[in-house]
A and B are shown apart, each in its own frame.
Chain A
Amino acid sequence: EVQLVESGGGLVQPGGSLRLSCAASGFTFNNYAMTWVRQVPGKGLEWVSTISDSGATTYYPDSVKGRFTVSRDNSKNTLYLQMDRLRADDTAVYYCSKDWDSSGPNWSDPWGQGTLVTVSP
C-alpha cells in the first residue's frame, strides 16, 4: 500500500524558514515525480511544486518561485520542501502526492494527510 506521511509543519514568524518532509513507502519512489499542493483551511487547492523522479527538473508557480525549493533523497524515499521568506499568505495545509509518472507535472494520487504551516508573529 502506498503511504505518504508529511511532517515538519508548525508555527513560524513572517520572514522565517521551515522545511517540510514527506516520507514515502509502498512504491518505487525513484520512479515517480512528486508534487506539493497546499490548501488554506476552508479554501481551495493550490499547486506548489513538482519534482521529477531524479530530482533534475523542478517546477513552481510564481507565488513561491525563488522562496521555496523542492528536493528529494531517493536513498531515503523522502521528499522535501524548503520554505524561506515565509509570508502570512503561505499559511496552509501542505500535502505531498505521488505523480502518475516519472517526469511530471501530472495528475497525482495518492496524497498524504497533510501538515499545517502557520505563519504568524
Chain B
Amino acid sequence: DIQMAQSPASLSASVGDRVNITCRASQSISTYLNWYQQSPGKAPRLLIYAAFSLQSGVPSRFSGSGVGIDFALTISSLKPEDFATYYCQQTYTTPLTFGGGTTVEIK
C-alpha cells in the first residue's frame, strides 16, 4: 500500500498568514494527489484534485503543487473559515490512501 505522510500534524496561524502543508508519498504517484478540507462536524470537501487543479467553487487562495513524491497545499492568506483539518489522498492505485491530516488552529 502507498503510505501518505502529512506534515505538520497541526499548526497555529493567524488570519492573513500564508500556510503550507506538505504530503509525501511512499512511492511516486505522478500527480494523482488530492486535497480535502474538513471543518469540525462536517463532511470533507474537495479543494484540489490532480495535484494542482482547483475544484469549482473553491477560493483561489488555495493552491496545490508537486509531482512524484512530494506535494504541498498552500493557503495564501488565511481566512477565519479556513481553520479546519486538511487531508491529502492518493488515487494512483488501490487501496486509495489518505494522509493523517493537518489541523490548522487559530493562534
Contact = CB atoms under 8 A, between A and B. Distances in A.
> How large, as a class, is the contact surface on chain B?
20 to 34
B49 A100 contact: yes
Contact of B98 (A46, A50, A112): A46
B49 A61 contact: no
Contacts of A95: 43-44
A92 to B, nearest CB: 13
Interface residues of A, number: 22
B46 A59 contact: no
Interface stretch (B13-21, B22-30, B65-73, B89-97): B89-97
Given A44-B87, A109-B45, A114-B43, A61 B100 contact: no
A43 to B, nearest CB: 9
Contacts of B34: 107
Contacts of A111: 43-45
B86 to A, nearest CB: 11
A18 to B, nearest CB: 20
Nearest to B99: A44
B3 interface: no
A110 B46 CA distance: 7
B44 A59 contact: no
Nearest to A114: B43
Given A107-B89, A113-B43, A44 B101 contact: yes
Interface of A: 37, 44-47, 50, 59-62, 95, 100, 105-114
